Each structure stands twice: as C-alpha cells, then as structure tokens.
Amino acid sequence: MGGHGGLNIIPKKSWNVYGRDNRERVKRDEAEAEERRREKEKEKVQEERDARWQKLSKQQQRKGADEGGEREEGHVNLFEREEREERRTRYSQANQAAGKECRRQQLDESHRFARTCQGGGETSKPWYARAGTSLEQQQGKPSLSLPARLRREREEVEVARQQKRGGAAPVD
C-alpha cells in the first residue's frame, strides 16, 4: 500500500488549470482580447483623423472668407482685427495700472513697517522693546529689580504689622 500511487483525480476536474480544455480556453480569450484592443486602437486613430480633417476644413473655410469669399453662416465683422487690438491694449493698460497700484501698496506697507520699527521714538518701538513700560513707571514709581522689589514689599509688610501692634514704625 505505501508509496505515492493512490488517487490522482485532479486531471479529471474542470477547474484544473493545466487541463487541455482550460489552456485552449485561455488562448482563445487572450486572442479575442487582443483583437478587441486592436479594433479600439483603429477606432481611436480614425476619430483623431476625422477631428483633424474637420479642423482643417474649418480653417480653410475661414481663410477663404478672410480672403474675400463669403461665409456661409454667422455675422461678418469687418473690424475684427482692430477690435481685437483694442481689447489687447485695454487689457494691457489695465494690467499695468493694477501692477502699479500693487507695487505702490507694497511700498507703503514696507515703509509703514520700517517707520514703526526704525522710528526711534517711544511709540514706534514694540511694547516689549520700550523702556519704562512697567506699571510702577507708569504710576510714577521708579523701576526696581526683582530682589529690590521683594525687599521693599517685605519692609512695607513689616511696617504694616508694627502699626497694627501699635508699636513705632522703624525709621528708614
């Protein structure tokens, strides 16, 4: 009984990819797909050819109409070229005016910024760069360093305690 003999049923199954019928079906399907691709390519080329032909025929009709022939349809504008040039010059003048306005605004912005930062006056400096903007200086008190302020606050608290007790205040 041993060995690898036994049942070999795969060649009999319809889903076997190595079966002759399936290989022939794959070849046939691939050939059909290639034929469809070729036909689509031919149709695409023909459509492009037709589009180019239509474009060339329209150009030829316009050229014949510009040379003195009559157009079959539409309005005949005798001043088309002049109107086109007029629109072009008007458009370029508007662009130039807008460009000048934009440059003027940029210069104004840059000068305004430069005046506020380089003016030299107290109001021209930003708040963090101004000297003497502490609350004490605004109230007329001299500005002190942190240790000096802490020392002064302790002394004021001590004076208040002495006054509460009814004792004499220390002399400075």
Which 3-state string (H, E, C) describes the chain? Answer: CCCCCCCCCHHHCCCCCCCHHHHHHHHHHHHHHHHHHHHHHHHHHHHHHHHHHHHHHHHHHHHHHHCCCCCCCCCCCCCHHHHHHHHHHHHHHHHHHHHHHHHHHHHHHHHHHHHHHHCCCCCCCCCCCCCCCCHHHHCCCCCCCHHHHHHHHHHHHHHHHHHHHCCCCCCC
Higher pLDDT, 101 or 69: 101
pLDDT tens-digit map of 50-92: 999 999 999 888 887 776 655 556 788 888 889 989 988 888 8
Query: In this model, does residue 113 exceed pLDDT 70?
Result: no
pLDDT of residue 54: 94
pLDDT band at 31 (very low <50, low <70, confident <90, very high): very high
132 neighbors 121 (Cβ within 8 angstroms): no
pLDDT of residue 142 exceeding 90, the answer is no
Question: Mean pLDDT score of the chain, rounded to an integer?
Answer: 80
pLDDT at 104: 79
Cα separation, 156 vs 149, whole angstroms: 10
Q: Which of 1-15, 46-60, 70-84, 113-127 has the highest mean pLDDT?
A: 46-60
Query: What is the per-residue pLDDT for 158?
Result: 93
